[in-house]
Amino acid sequence: MQRHALKSHLFSHSSCDDDGNGDWTFYLCTLKIEIGNYPAGSKFASIIWDETRSIIVLVNDDGEEFIFEIKVSVGQQIPNHLLHNIHGDHCGCAPSEPSIV
């Protein structure tokens, strides 16, 4: 079963910078879903994913910032056998106990 990062469900982008601690800046972004008053398809110069503070910042071509809370919901449970390596090949955490999904 192919799983994708949460961010990839919200917007597409051309490049990104890892700002550390789970914070990212994405460039030349297009929304895949409506965020606030911005419909799917809206384009932004950048999007800042600030996981540390649970916010997303949409930045337009003029440098104006539009800040939103990141809120998530949890869907249905995924059977363990559908995810072969939940941590990925290059995770580095090497869990000593089975992962809980």
Tens-digit pLDDT profile for the chain (101 aa)? Answer: 455 577 888 999 999 999 888 789 999 999 999 999 999 999 999 999 998 899 999 999 999 999 999 888 888 887 877 766 555 555 555 555 555 54
Q: Say which residues have a Cβ less than 8 Å from residue 27's Cβ, sequence separation at least 6.
A: 13, 14, 15, 16, 45, 46
**pTM here?**
0.71
Helices (H), the chain: 6-10
Residue in the block written with tokens 């337009």: 60
Per domain, the residue ranges of the chain are 6-69
What's the rounded Cα separation, in Å, for the pair 35 and 56?
Answer: 10
